[in-house]
Amino acid sequence: MHRILQNIIPGWMGVLVTLLLILSCINQPASAQNPQVQFDQATQALKDGKYQQALDTYHKLENEGHHAGPLYLNMGLSYIRIDSLGKAKYYLLKASQFDETRRKAEQGLSFVNEQFSRQSAVLPKLPWERVFDWMNREWGSSFVIFIGLLFVNLGIFGWVFSWFKNFYTKWLRYISGTVGGLGLLIVLTGFYLNYRADRYHTAVMVTEKAQVRAAPTQSASLVNPAYEGYTFTVDEKRSENQAGWVYVRMWNGQYGWIPKSEILIL
């Protein structure tokens, strides 16, 4: 009898543990198990005009580490509906970084930019800056470095190969040196793209008005006023030791400091 009980009790304990696990899963909300369910519920709330409810769920997903074009696009649309245009612009800019939502996000950005009562003066980017932005967006620094290393290795291979051939040696070495030099230039470009991506970020003004100042204090001289929707380039390196302030380049070419609470950084 004792042995029988020893065999039965562990079996029943295993069944009990299994049942408890099943019940705990059943008692959990479905939305807590599946982010897609949460997203779909928030999207339905957006369609029903419950914009703040939708935003609460979208922000929860964002804080949990979910990053996707449709999420940011819907957040931007929600902020348009509650007339928070600065935050709408911020999230639409984030959505524009994803291929699947780029076109709709750009359409939304065009609409949002037309709604601002004050338009920021925009200094056109220099041609090479536009090239670097395009390369970083379309290829990324890692791919550029990979291509550069490929060219460098082709150049080295050609140079070594010329040692074992007596014909066209001069031209082979010239071409190999050119290919290797081009590869080295591409590698350096890739490292520069990575440096730019780490140091400089785009930011959007999300409050109604703020002052850009010459130093990171409220008593510093005024550089320029900034308004909701203004876009800045943030210098992370210069900002890292100034708690609560960031060093920015305005798109009219001026530089200064602005409280970090006034902006959102992409």
119 vs 30, higher pLDDT: 119
What's the whole-model pTM score?
0.74
Residue 102 in this model has a pLDDT that exceeds 60: yes
Mean pLDDT of the chain: 84
Residues 6+ apart with CB under 8 A from 137: 97
Residue 8 in this model has a pLDDT that exceeds 60: no
20 vs 197, higher pLDDT: 197
Is residue 264 a contact partner of residue 203, using CB atoms and an 8 Å limit?
yes
State phi, psi for 117 to the nearest 5 degrees: -70, -25
Looking only at the bridges linking them, the beta strands covering 200-205 and 263-265 are: antiparallel
Topology (CATH level 3) of domain 200-265: SH3 type barrels. (2.30.30)
SS3 177: helix
Where in the chain are the domains?
Answer: 33-115, 127-199, 200-265
Is residue 69 a contact partner of residue 95, using CB atoms and an 8 Å limit?
yes
Provide the pLDDT for residue 122: 61
Residue 29 in this model has a pLDDT that exceeds 60: no
Amino acid identity, position 147: I
Residue 211 in this model has a pLDDT that exceeds 60: yes
Between CA 96 and CA 106 the distance in angstroms is 6
The DSSP secondary structure of 56-73, one letter per residue, reads HHHHHHHHTT---HHHHH
Amino acid identity, position 264: L
Domains 33-115 and 200-265 share a fold: no
Provide the pLDDT for residue 11: 45
Between CA 145 and CA 157 the distance in angstroms is 18
When pLDDT is averaged across residues 96-111 and rounded to a whole number, the result is 93
Provide the pLDDT for residue 167: 63
Provide the pLDDT for residue 124: 66
Provide the pLDDT for residue 120: 66
HSE-up of residue 234 (Cα within 13 Å, Cβ side): 23
CATH superfamily label, 33-115: Tetratricopeptide repeat domain (1.25.40.10)
